[in-house]
């Protein structure tokens, strides 16, 4: 805590945003004058804030108060020492500090997504394993649109024109948004985010930003901050950045690809490969991902919109196959040196909570290694023309799989599973009450 106070003084901070992620990935917390923070003010937040849907609604009272005290008591927020970030877009010197959540009894609050990831990492520590993560974040830039009934359009680039066709890896298409991208990199450097390459993706004004590999908890923090930073940079330039899984009809969806490997915590050696080839643990990790991914799809694809991304024949993965340098499989293995041997999980959407998506992926791989699950044979051909029946087709089936998964309830906790699924259901029920333009267009006069 003393180090954080000194950091605030060194950076001449005037205001502190004390935040933690809720189930949907929204930053919840309080803003304090820096003097109050330094004087040791206790930061408290209602436990129910962890059970708010994306719409802002709480889950139903009878379920809510079976998960938290009926008095809706506060949890205690405690700052994370390496979770301090100066906000370059703020009008006055402002810091965002990520906090862990504790119950009023002093225990880690199990409905806080950051704590869910920490608990999965403890499983690896018990085996003397250290997972390594490198996220890739896809997003769309769109023109501002105040009317949700209107389809989103790409923004104008520097030339004054909107993109029409797809521009995969296009350098000139990327340069159209150079002022925005320059700000993203400049702000990332100021915030000490581990940002690497940027590429133009397949969709119109769709981009992918890669983050440098590192500790899973640190990388989840960085993705959490990165998403907020990118949205602010887009606002500055007069357009919108969205991490919706499928924001535009007929265009590819946006993912959060998670590259993952595991090293021996003592030697630092990658346990997935040796000079002789891939290890059994590598294959068992893939087997775990193949076996348990259907049980955690509600985490990878938490919104009704998420499932519109999984369209056969498009860029999204629609299967649980694995293969070397094969972008049509859900579990891609990039060519790499032995020490960098890794698996790229291409299933999580950009709309997923980074703490939970990383926790879920690591849990599946862990179970594969512990249970010695054998994977399928490597896929050597294109395989995205048909969607696998092993994957849940919609939010209903995904929630059902998660609720009824003995392993997910055991390792992520029954209270968390119920809280998470009820939060997602709350948004889904809201969605059901909205009549879409498709329904009006095709059903109004035909049924």
Average pLDDT over residues 81-107: 95
Average pLDDT over residues 383-399: 90
Residue 127 CA to residue 37 CA, distance in Å, equals: 38
Q: 256 vs 263, 345, 354, CA distance in Å? A: 22, 9, 8
Question: Tokens for 143?
Answer: 């023109």
**What pTM value is reported for the model?**
0.96
- From 81, 111, 141, the end of a domain falls on 111
Question: Tokens for 258?
Answer: 């998670």
Q: Check residue 314 and give its pLDDT.
A: 67
Q: 223 vs 83, 167, 211, 346, CA distance in Å? A: 12, 25, 8, 16
Q: Are residues 106 and 149 in the same domain?
A: no
Q: Classify residue 331: in a domain, yes or no.
A: yes
Q: Check residue 210 and give its pLDDT.
A: 98
More confident residue, 147 or 267: 267
Which of 111, 355, 419 lies closest to 227, judged by CA?
A: 355
Exposed (0-12), middle (13-18) or buried (19+): which is 105, by Cβ within 10 Å? exposed
Q: Are residues 128 and 61 in the same domain?
A: no
Q: Are residues 339 and 402 in the same domain?
A: yes
Q: Are residues 141 and 285 in the same domain?
A: yes
Q: Are residues 125 and 260 in the same domain?
A: yes
Q: How many domains does the chain have?
A: 2
Average pLDDT over residues 264-285: 97
Exposed (0-12), middle (13-18) or buried (19+): which is 335, by Cβ within 10 Å? exposed
Which of 307, 316, 300, 324 lies closest to 420, judged by CA?
A: 300
Q: Classify residue 31: in a domain, yes or no.
A: yes
Q: Check residue 311 and give its pLDDT.
A: 85
Which of 403, 285, 296, 394 lies closest to 333, judged by CA?
A: 285
Which of 41, 105, 29 lies closest to 73, judged by CA?
A: 105
Q: Classify residue 183: in a domain, yes or no.
A: yes
Residue 321 CA to residue 378 CA, distance in Å, equals: 7
**Predicted confidence (pLDDT) per residue in 370-379, tens digit:** 999 999 999 9
For tokens 């899984």, name the residue: 245
Q: Classify residue 432: in a domain, yes or no.
A: no
Helix (H, G, I), strand (E, B) or coil at 284: helix
Per cent of the chain over pLDDT 90 is 85
Q: Classify residue 426: in a domain, yes or no.
A: no
Q: Are residues 298 and 259 in the same domain?
A: yes
**CATH number of the domain that residue 133 is part of:** 3.30.590.10
Q: Are residues 85 and 214 in the same domain?
A: no
Average pLDDT over residues 43-49: 93
**Predicted confidence (pLDDT) per residue in 208-259, tens digit:** 999 999 999 999 999 999 999 999 999 999 999 999 999 999 899 999 999 9
Q: Check residue 125 and give its pLDDT.
A: 98
Average pLDDT over residues 169-184: 94
Q: Are residues 259 and 147 in the same domain?
A: yes
Q: Check residue 118 and give its pLDDT.
A: 98
- From 111, 133, 152, the end of a domain falls on 111
Q: Are residues 209 and 283 in the same domain?
A: yes
Q: Check residue 66 and give its pLDDT.
A: 85
Q: Check residue 10 and give its pLDDT.
A: 95
The CB density around residue 406, as the number of other CB atoms within 10 Å, is 8
Question: Do the beta carbons of residue 78 and residue 100 sit within 8 Å?
Answer: yes
Q: Check residue 322 and give its pLDDT.
A: 97
Q: Are residues 90 and 130 in the same domain?
A: no
Q: Are residues 382 and 281 in the same domain?
A: yes
- From 87, 111, 135, the end of a domain falls on 111
| Strand duo 15-21 + 94-102: pairing | parallel
Q: Classify residue 444: in a domain, yes or no.
A: no
| Strand duo 277-278 + 273-274: pairing | antiparallel
In this model, does residue 1 exceed pLDDT 80? no
Residue numbers of the domain that contains 8: 2-111
Query: If you ran DSSP here, which 8-state letter would residue 158 be given?
Result: T
In this prediction, residue 71 has a pLDDT band, given cuts at 50, 70 and 90, of confident
Q: Are residues 126 and 105 in the same domain?
A: no
Q: Classify residue 445: in a domain, yes or no.
A: no
Average pLDDT over residues 146-170: 88
**Predicted confidence (pLDDT) per residue in 288-318, tens digit:** 999 999 999 999 999 999 999 998 766 678 9
Per-chain mean pLDDT for the chain: 94
Q: Classify residue 421: in a domain, yes or no.
A: no
Question: Do the beta carbons of residue 357 and residue 299 sit within 8 Å?
Answer: yes
């Amino acid at each position: 805590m003393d180090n954080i106070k000194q950091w605030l003084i060194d950076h001449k901070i005037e205001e502190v945003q004390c935040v933690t992620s809720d189930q949907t990935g929204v930053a919840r917390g309080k803003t304090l004058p820096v003097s109050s923070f330094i004087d040791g003010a206790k930061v408290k937040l209602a436990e129910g804030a962890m059970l708010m849907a994306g719409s802002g609604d709480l889950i139903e009272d009878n379920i809510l108060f079976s998960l938290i005290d009926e008095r809706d008591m506060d949890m205690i927020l405690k700052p994370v020492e390496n979770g301090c970030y100066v906000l370059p877009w703020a009008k006055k010197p402002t810091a965002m500090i990520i906090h862990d959540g504790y119950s009023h009894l002093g225990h880690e609050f199990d409905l806080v997504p950051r704590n869910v990831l920490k608990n999965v990492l403890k499983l690896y520590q018990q085996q003397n394993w250290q997972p390594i993560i490198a996220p890739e974040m896809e997003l769309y830039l769109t023109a501002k649109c105040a009317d949700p009934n209107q389809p989103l359009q790409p923004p104008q680039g520097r030339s004054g024109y909107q993109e029409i066709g797809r521009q995969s890896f296009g350098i000139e298409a990327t340069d159209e948004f150079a002022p925005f991208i320059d700000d993203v990199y400049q702000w990332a450097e100021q915030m000490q985010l581990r940002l690497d390459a940027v590429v133009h993706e397949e969709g119109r004004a769709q981009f992918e930003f890669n983050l440098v590999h590192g500790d899973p908890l640190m990388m989840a923090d960085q993705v959490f901050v990165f998403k907020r930073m990118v949205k602010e940079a887009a606002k500055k330039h007069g357009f919108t950045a969205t991490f919706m899984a499928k924001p535009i009809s007929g265009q590819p969806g946006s993912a959060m690809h998670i590259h993952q490997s595991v090293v021996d915590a003592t030697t630092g050696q990658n346990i997935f490969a040796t000079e002789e080839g891939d290890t059994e643990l590598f294959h068992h990790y893939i087997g775990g991902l193949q076996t348990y991914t259907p049980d955690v799809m509600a985490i990878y694809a938490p919104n009704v919109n998420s499932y519109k991304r999984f369209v056969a024949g498009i860029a999204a993965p629609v299967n649980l196959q694995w293969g070397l340098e094969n972008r049509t499989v859900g579990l891609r293995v990039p060519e790499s040196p032995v020490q960098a041997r890794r698996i790229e999980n291409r299933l999580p959407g950009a709309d997923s909570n980074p703490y939970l998506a990383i926790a879920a992926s690591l849990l599946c791989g862990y179970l594969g290694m512990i249970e010695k699950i054998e994977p399928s044979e490597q896929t050597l051909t294109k395989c995205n023309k048909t969607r696998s029946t092993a994957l849940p087709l919609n939010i209903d089936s995904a929630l059902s799989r998660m609720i009824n998964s003995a392993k997910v309830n055991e390792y992520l906790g029954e209270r968390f599973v119920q809280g998470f699924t009820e939060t997602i259901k709350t948004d889904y029920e809201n969605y059901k009450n909205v009549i879409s333009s498709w329904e009006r267009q095709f059903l109004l006069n035909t049924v």
